Chain A
């Protein structure tokens, strides 16, 4: 169980990092959306750190920097990265579902669901259609 949650924590660290360059290239509603998304990822990160620390297992720390999958230079690439960040985060939370049960299953499900909702929001902002995928988090 802890391994899957440690992977989720690592993904949340990366997501928080990515929202830095994303936010820089957005304004208006999209910038607000990026801020609230980043706050949501920070909140999940903090819960995971507490949980994993309590278990006494390894608690992944944030890397000083993460390699982005492509350069973020403008609004379009920022939106594209936001979609990708949420898709990746959702996939990691989905992978945690079989490894968890009870309340932790519930928070993994929230992690997946929130990521899927944000991915849909970002796809709509980017004009990507369809804005949804049939099985969020499932490996392609």
Chain B
């Protein structure tokens, strides 16, 4: 962008000495990096980042759901027996998705921010309702990815969809 402006300045008449100096400095700067792009100083654009893996949002969703359950268990220990298997399932989903997509999971997702952040006022029933909504959204998101997934990923994403749907039964 800035090099483009510089180029235009070269075309204008009556440029000051300072402009010339500045432009020369910019060209020198661009020259050192610009040669890497190979084609043209001013039309060279950086390579577009690789398209995100379609499974990536499911990893984030699984970690978020796991964190929500863990926060709920911390706030309402009486729900631990019921909810811990669900939290563990989401962690297992994230791990499997990371393996398939060859990505590394962020280490230690502490500080579950979303749901039970300000407990005290929040009741267990309200938290379970939020979890139900989050699971429903997660199920729908996974179902969409499953129907569009290539054959070698369809079964895994199908199982994750089915697991999220089955969690709703436990949250009833």
Contact = CB atoms under 8 A, between A and B. Distances in A.
Contact of A132 (B154, B155, B163): B163
B151 interface: yes
B55 interface: no
Given A113-B165, A120-B170, A98 B151 contact: yes
A135 B159 contact: yes
Contact of B166 (A94, A100, A117): A117
User: Size range of the interface on B?
Assistant: 20 to 34
A109 B161 contact: yes
A99 interface: yes
Interface residues of A, number: 32
A136 interface: yes
Nearest to B151: A98
Interface string A97-113: 11111100110110011
A97 B158 contact: yes
B159 A137 contact: yes
Interface stretch (B2-10, B12-20, B82-90): B82-90
A4 to B, nearest CB: 11
B147 A136 contact: no
B53 interface: no
Nearest to B159: A135
Given A97-B155, A113-B165, A117-B165, A132 B89 contact: yes
A129 B80 CA distance: 13
A124 B93 CA distance: 22
26 contacts: A90-B162, A94-B158, A95-B155, A97-B146, A109-B143, A109-B161, A112-B158, A112-B161, A115-B162, A116-B162, A117-B168, A117-B169, A119-B166, A121-B169, A132-B86, A132-B166, A133-B163, A133-B166, A134-B88, A134-B92, A134-B163, A135-B93, A135-B156, A136-B162, A136-B166, A138-B159
Interface of B: 81, 85-86, 88-89, 92-93, 96, 139, 143, 146-147, 151-152, 154-156, 158-163, 165-170
